[in-house]
Amino acid sequence: MSLNRDQENIIKNINGPILVIAGAGSGKTRVITYRIAHMIKEIGIDPSKILALTFTKKAAREMKERISKMISIDELEKITLGTFHSTFSRILRKESHWLGYNPNYTIYDQQDSENVIKKILKDINVDINKTPREIIREISECKNNLYSKSLIKKKKSDSFAKIYEIYTKRCFQSNALDFDDILLYTNHLFLNFPNILKKYQEKFQYILIDEYQDTNFAQNVIIKNLSSKNKNVFVVGDDAQSIYAFRGANIKNILNFHVDYSEAKIFRLEQNYRSTNHIVQASNNIISFNKNQITKKIWTKNENGEIIKIYSALSDKDEAEYIANYIFSVIKKNKSFQYKNIAILYRTNKQSYIIEYYLKKKNIPYKIYGSISFFKRKEIRHLLYYFRVIINPNDEESILYITNKIIKNKNTVKQLIKLSNKKNIYDVIKKIDNYEIFTKKTKEKLKKNFLEIEKFRIKSKILDAYTIAKHIVYFLLELEKNYHYTDFQYILRNIFYYTEEQKKLKKSEDNSLSGFVQYLYVEKDIDEFNNENYEDKVSLMTVHLSKGLEFSIVFITGLEENLFPSRSSISYQYKIEEERRLFYVALTRAQKIAILTYTKYRFLWGKKTKNIPSRFINELHKKFIHIENEKVKHISTLLENKKFLPENSGVIKKGIIVFHKNFGIGTVIKLENFNKIAIVNFMKVGKKRILLQLNKLIIYRK
């Protein structure tokens, strides 16, 4: 397939700032990859001058793969291509001394950060009514928006500012950065050291950014600084697919692009090449419910295709079984059809379990994406903590975790934490004999462990990542009798691949354990280990992870109020809009067939919950959908040929049709108690008394 005129035009405009607003399936990645190839092949731009940034590891890998088909490996290796975090983490490792950090710094994940906050809350007496998780979130918000100290005090509170300050200090002591620090410190670096900024401005003369709608303020500032000299910034985005607001993504970056870059040229890509006309129209229909959007008309020359199927399942088991049966018969009917063209999407990772069970039952090969469960496994965590402390002896979280496993006594650990508030924990353990508070036995254990780690540290300087990792695994198996070698096989195999790959690329400096850990945390998508992507398997993943991908058949599961849209989004209009964009992303993954499922009952949090269908199902116009097994009248039947009023634009009166977030669609039968209570007959749940002061009823039709 060649490029269309619009795409061609975009590729040939090399200099100056460019914003491309690209709808789903309009060949966005194609434009970026062709452009990079064009820059190198036709214009003769030095690939080492090119910086290409993506948001997720998966997108980075995808882009790399696609470019590799157009240019030589040598040229590809010279391009700086990766996620924001990986790219700037690399830069920070090179330049860390400017900030007083060591290059072997640890990256704290959310769990680590939370533990640090917990310790702080115990250590100091602050008046703050927030959970560690909430605090971490707010710290993240401050960092992503580059709030100054005084602004933090103003926007949050004095006690919060104090916690923030101690948190920063502790991370510094541990020679650790959290993910947000990677952006924050890159900004510090560029702001406070003009020579460093200049160096990178000269290196990265051409900057390309995918999924620009997902960038946050801190990222935007980095890019503005980096590009201020050459002004060659090329960004591609779709506001309708902005789904990372929770980590600071800001659509304003797209809306204000022409303000940030005054000579910006703006292009639009609105032709969809991916999906059937039905799916394109249905997606347009869905997204039109969002008030906050750049209006665009996505269109396609593709055939109408099949109508969207909706399956109303009785339970999560029924839902999973339906999906498994459907896949089974599709493959059976059409022998040439492949598993890898099918995706099952869900809102939350935990929904995957039951689906897996039924796929296994039907012998359907599948692959689950999303590394969360892998990193949460305690033996893997334990191993990674050893890796980390060997690389960075100041990594307090690792030391405490490991110590916790060796010293089971909580009081002892508490004492250690107390000491760590004042002194570097590593030095405390090193000189443990000086501390009277511990018993002889405890001291012996601590000393022994300390020496083991020291030994590994020396070894790690000469051995490659795989060899040292094997040593540590054997050590761990000795230490914890309930661990099994098979628990570690997967990660060991991947360390082996990593080591081999580095040798092949002759990057022996990255061949170390430290190289691998960096790689694991910010570079490599753990899902892509083992080169399994060439295998013919059904893909299971969250909607978030599916962005940028496409499949012939897409199942969107769990379309229930409180799940998709998620429970915490329901009471906020702007959060609902983000959920709707998420649904839009899910729907636009489908090339040929989209199947939406929801359940009446689902096991969640150990309890059986009763659900009503997602509002997104109701929003789809009747002409796009076919409800497989539901007799209930669809809202679009009610609305046919009638004017649609999406907002609460009137008074609740007898006879009008309303929408309630929990009960769905219903008709107002009468009003009581001076119009404070409405008796509504809901289609799904029957008559209910609704207290109007507490419950919002959205008027669908007068």
User: Which residue lies nearer to DNA by CB, 40 or 432?
Assistant: 432
Between β-strands 664-672 and 590-604, what pairing exists: parallel, antiparallel or unpaired?
unpaired
Compute the distance between CA of residue 286 and CA of residue 281 in angstroms, rounded to an integer. Answer: 9
Distance of CA 509 to the CA centre of its chain: 30
Compute the distance between CA of residue 131 and CA of residue 123 in angstroms, rounded to an integer. Answer: 15
Structure tokens at 317: 């088991």
Compute the distance between CA of residue 613 and CA of residue 558 in angstroms, rounded to an integer. Answer: 9
Residue 299: phi, psi to the nearest 5? -135, 165
Least Cβ distance, residue 451 to DNA (angstroms): 19
Would you give the end-to-end CA distance of the chain in angstroms? 50
Compute the distance between CA of residue 637 and CA of residue 282 in angstroms, rounded to an integer. Answer: 16
Least Cβ distance, residue 613 to DNA (angstroms): 18
Are 580 and 570 contacting, i.e. CB atoms less than 8 angstroms apart?
no
Least Cβ distance, residue 501 to DNA (angstroms): 19
Q: What is the dihedral of CA 191, 195, 201, 204, to 10 degrees?
A: -110
User: Which residue lies nearer to DNA by CB, 293 or 415?
Assistant: 415
Compute the distance between CA of residue 701 and CA of residue 518 in angstroms, rounded to an integer. Answer: 56
Least Cβ distance, residue 522 to DNA (angstroms): 5
User: Which residue lies nearer to DNA by CB, 393 or 558?
Assistant: 558
Going through 404-525 in order, the beta strands assigned E by DSSP cover none
Between β-strands 176-178 and 106-108, what pairing exists: parallel, antiparallel or unpaired?
parallel
Compute the distance between CA of residue 1 and CA of residue 271 in angstroms, rounded to an integer. Answer: 14
Compute the distance between CA of residue 701 and CA of residue 668 in angstroms, rounded to an integer. Answer: 11
Least Cβ distance, residue 356 to DNA (angstroms): 13
Least Cβ distance, residue 623 to DNA (angstroms): 30
Least Cβ distance, residue 316 to DNA (angstroms): 12
Going by C-alpha positions, the residue among 676, 657, 683, 684 that lies closest to residue 668 is 657
Q: Which residues of this chain interact with DNA, rule CB under 7 A?
A: 55-58, 83-86, 109-110, 118, 131, 133, 140, 178-180, 244-247, 347-350, 370-372, 376, 378, 407-412, 439, 441-442, 522, 525, 542, 544-545, 566, 568-569, 578, 603-606
Compute the distance between CA of residue 115 and CA of residue 213 in angstroms, rounded to an integer. Answer: 32
Least Cβ distance, residue 523 to DNA (angstroms): 8
Least Cβ distance, residue 135 to DNA (angstroms): 12
Least Cβ distance, residue 352 to DNA (angstroms): 9
Sign of torsion, CA 603 606 609 613?
negative
Going through 525-675 in order, the beta strands assigned E by DSSP cover 538-542, 551-556, 590-604, 607-610, 625-627, 657-660, 664-672
Residue 364: phi, psi to the nearest 5? -95, 125
- What 8-state DSSP symbol labels residue 307? P
Can you spell out the DSSP letters for 402-420?
HHHHH---HHHHHHHHHHH
Structure tokens at 97: 């001394």
Compute the distance between CA of residue 210 and CA of residue 395 in angstroms, rounded to an integer. Answer: 34
Structure tokens at 544: 């978030």
Catalytic residues: 28-29, 210-211, 241, 589
User: Which residue lies nearer to DNA by CB, 129 or 641?
Assistant: 129
User: Which residue lies nearer to DNA by CB, 512 or 562?
Assistant: 562
Residues 6+ apart with CB under 8 A from 199: none
What strands, in cross-sheet order, belong to the sheet with 265-269? 80-83, 50-54, 206-209, 233-237, 18-22, 265-269
- Bridge partners of 560, per DSSP, are 613
Structure tokens at 619: 């929003």
